[in-house]
Structure 1
Amino acid sequence: MRRQRRRAVIMLAGLMNAFLGTNIGYSAGIIHLGLLEKHKKSPNVVFWAGALFSSLLCLAGPISSVAVNALSCRSTIFLGSFLSFVGFMVSSFVSSIEIVVFSYGIVAGLGQSMIYSGTVLATGFHFHDNPSVATGVVVAGAGMGVAVFPMFTEFLIETYGIDGTFLLLSAVSLQVVVFNMCIDTHELENNRKETSMTFKMKVELIFQELRKIFSMGAYLQFCISIFCWSTSVNTSVLLLPQYYVSTGSSHTEAAILMSLYGITGCFSRILTGLAASDPRVDGKLLYMGSYIILGLSTFFLPLIGNYFPGKVFYSLMLGIYSSNVWSLLTPITIEIVGIQQMPTAFGMELLIGGIGFLIGPIIGGKTCT
């Protein structure tokens, strides 16, 4: 009973870490509009700021995995919280968009990645026997944030401007430290450390694991699929508020529509985690079917996107069928490579997804420009 209570506390702490520390990337579209208002003469550079920030959540996955292997999940989350705090803080005091690209796009983005990776991997270690439900609850924290933060960020920008918004977001990122105190280091994590005491041995172990996991055909195909969906989904999330405004919606309506995307995504993550925990349900089938439906919805967006009900419909579909993948990554990864190789495999998945997250908005931004 005591072990179950402890695991419940860790799961709830992970949910709050995801809520406070990893969801701001889903407000990147709102922040993007605020940066465009301040830096009207540098729209292409502004695209780089938002694209880097939202993509580094995944793109910095290998760096986060190295931090987990070298330190621990808990220490990695602490480090990520500090980096996010510094990145947003610096962004609030500088006037150069190039510095904002570095501080907001890279430093804060790296911090978000460390918080997310550390939280999800800690959940995977503590719930390694049945990770689907716990992972679904934890990543639902990010879904809750998507529901809250677009409206919250829009309110901050209207009230305090983009500089004041960055300052307050830095304080939000630092709150992750409070809930991270509830997450301890699992014995499986300690066992991994005991097998590689020196830095050289740790590097050799990582490369051995990389060779092993990429020799698996199923894992290679899984990574290809991650690249495909990440390229398209992040383009939608980052540029969708701008698209809504360009088709007649106000900034507030665009924020409401993105919050709707977050609300549905929150429920989708939890329900998908519950469904995937049933041994009769194939998580890979859920994963594949979701993106077939989302692809069809996106194909018809130009036909319905000029009308508010059509925008509501697409936001609902985007939330339901793009958010549930985060509940499926960990259990599918464990099924393919096993619990011992999970941190390294998960880091590579985030890297591949991050490349797609970066490429998609840049291409989409140039097309819009």
Structure 2
Amino acid sequence: METKRYSAYSFVLILAMFVLFALSSGIAYSFGLYHLIFLEVFQKGSTITAWISSINMGMQGFVAPVASLLSDRIGLKWTAMVGGFLSFVGLLVTAFAPNIHVVFFSIGILTGIGFGIVYTMGTVVIALHFDRWRPIALAIAQSGLNVGSFVYPIFGEWILGVYGWRGTMLVTSALTLNMVAAGAVIREKLPTQAEKSADDAESKPTQSGRRQMWTNWKYWLCHVLCFFMYFALISFTTHIASYAQYLGHSDSNTVMLISIQALSGFICRNGLSFVASLQRTDIYWLLFVTTLVPGLCHFMVTFSDSFVMLCVSTMLHSIIYGTIGPVFIEVICLILGAEDFALGYGCLEVSMAVGALLGPPASGFAYEGSGSYETSFYVTGTSLIIAAFCTIPLALNRNTQSTVISESETKEVNNV
């Protein structure tokens, strides 16, 4: 198979997708800061307030198949731009919200839909444009998530002190308009059925690719894996700041904890992308290990009340960001082909959304029911361990022919 050649546009594309991830996922993964604000402003309790981030994360996944189908109609570029505009509108409406119910709609639904469209398009564009260096390209682009999560809590805390929470929403909404400009950079086109190669991942030439995807048990097992992974991931991200306050740590330490999670996630994502790109790496067992270790750290976070233990546990948890990025997507590219990747990955995001939707409230319920925050981390840690063991059948029943999205499956981009 001929290796795809890249031009200067390839680097511009990575930079544009970096901006998309930084402004969408970076802000979304900083909802631990908003959780504290909305708890104080609306006085509705941890379980109800946690639904804001749950609905947002849930909508990001539920809208993914729609985004994939929409991109078939109007193209990847215009779909990404629509997502950026919806994100702006949702945050703008939040600035004038009189009660938490409006916030459920504005941040939860509108901004969630926008962020979901942007995240799906950014992932699909990178996966289709690159082949040999896909894990590294994807890791660099998705590092925007970690950079945004690292910078935004510090930036957001400063804005809060100057303009209040409503002013913070206005400034953040203006920032998200940059996603519209970043989406305009996209030239990539979805591959057509005619461009599908005979050696598509784990598919038979005599069968329809879409039918093969829906009847592939490995693909459905990936849905189970996604559910348990995001159930734990979003719960930890939402509640770790509240848990730090529960232990008596200062607000500055709480914000620092969110930034530490983002910085360590950046390091883990890029480190794992390099490991995943090595020819000797067994990508399936790498997925197992990088899912199991964060699960164990959820139990470790309860071992001590010290801030050092919180930091160490948070850094180990951040391995999961590398797992859901370059590692897991590389596995999906082996199970699916280019023709089915956009829709297949979009549907997987629905399972991610269900997990993200149920995880934070379930953790909040476990805390309020038991009176101990440790119980919520036992629940999320068990969830990640289940996700890790879902990868074992994939590793033991893999296709012996490694497949990547080839040049023939991707529309050529003109040199600039």
Same fold, TM exceeding 0.5? yes
Q: In structure 2, what is the equivalent of residue 298 of structure 1?
A: 298
The 1-side partners of 2:95 and 2:63 are apart by 23
Q: How far apart in 2 are the matches of 1:149 and 1:298?
A: 24
Structure 1 gaps, min length 5: 196-207
Total equivalences in the alignment: 354
Separation of aligned partners in 2, 1:2 and 1:341: 23
RMSD of aligned residue pairs (Cα, Å) = 2.1
2:183 to 180, 183, 186: 180
Cα shift at 1:135: 0.9
How far apart are the structure 1 equivalents of 2:60 and 2:35? 17
User: Partner of 1:191 in structure 2?
Assistant: 192
Deviation at 1:74, TM superposition (A): 1.1
CA contact 2:61–2:351 (8 Å) conserved in 1: yes
Deviation at 1:42, TM superposition (A): 5.6
Residue 278 of structure 2 aligns to a residue whose secondary structure is coil
Give the alignment of 1:45-56 within 5 angstroms. 45-56=48-59
Query: For residue 387 of structure 2, what is the aligned residue in structure 1?
Result: none
CA distance in 2, matches of 1:365, 1:210: 39
Deviation at 1:241, TM superposition (A): 0.5
Question: In proportion to residue count, which structure has more helix?
Answer: 1
Deviates more, 1:98-107 or 1:170-179: 170-179
Q: Under a length normalisation based on structure 1, what TM-score does the superposition of the two structures give?
A: 0.90
Counterpart secondary structure, 2:30? helix
CA contact 1:31–1:153 (8 Å) conserved in 2: no
Aligned residues of 1:209 and 1:344 also touching (Cα < 8 A): no
Which segment is superposed worse, 49-58 or 94-103?
Answer: 49-58
Deviations 1:285-335 (A, max 9, x none): 22110121111111122112x101101111111123444321223221111
For 2:123, give the aligned amino acid.
Answer: V
| Alpha-carbon separation, structure 2, partners of 1:322 and 1:5 | 28
| 3-state SS in 2 of match to 1:341 | helix
CA contact (8 A) 1:34 1:161 kept: no
Structure 2 CA distance for aligned equivalents of residues 113 and 209 of structure 1: 25
Distance across 1 between alignment mates of 2:329 and 2:273: 10
What displacement does 1:194 show? 9.9
- Structure 2 length normalisation: TM-score? 0.80
Aligned to 1:314: 313
What's the % identity of the aligned pairs? 24
- Write the letter of the residue equivalent to 1:73: L
Give yes or no for the alignment of 1:71 onto 2:74. yes
**Cα distance, 1:114 vs. partner?**
0.6
1:87 maps to 2:83: no
* Cα distance change on mapping 1:367 and 1:159 into 2, 3 Å: farther
Q: Is the aligned partner of 1:249 residue 2:252? A: no
Counterpart in 1 of 2:264?
264
Cα deviation 1:319-352 (Å, max 9, x = unaligned): 2344432122322111101111000110111110
Contact kept, 8 Å, 2:153 with 2:258, in 1: the verdict is yes
In 2: Cα distance, 1:172 partner to 1:107 partner:
16
- Residue 142 of structure 1 corresponds to 145
Deviation at 1:60, TM superposition (A): 2.3
- 2:345 is equivalent to residue 346 of structure 1: yes
Residue identity opposite 1:162 in structure 2: W
Matched AA of 2:192 = N
Structure 2, unaligned runs of 5 or more: 197-207, 369-416
- Greater shift in the superposed pair: 230-239 or 120-129: 120-129
Pairwise CA distance, 1:73 = 1.5
Distance 2:281 2:130 in 1: 19
Q: Matches of 1:29 and 1:211 in 2, distance apart?
A: 41
Q: Which of the pair has more CA radius of gyration?
A: 2
Name the CA distance, whole Å, in 1 between partners of 2:329 and 2:51: 29
Q: Is the 8 A contact 2:291 2:323 kept in 1?
A: no
Structure-1 separation of matches of 2:210 and 2:224: 16
Shift of 1:44: 4.0
Deviates more, 1:144-153 or 1:321-330: 321-330
Q: Secondary structure at the match of 2:187?
A: coil
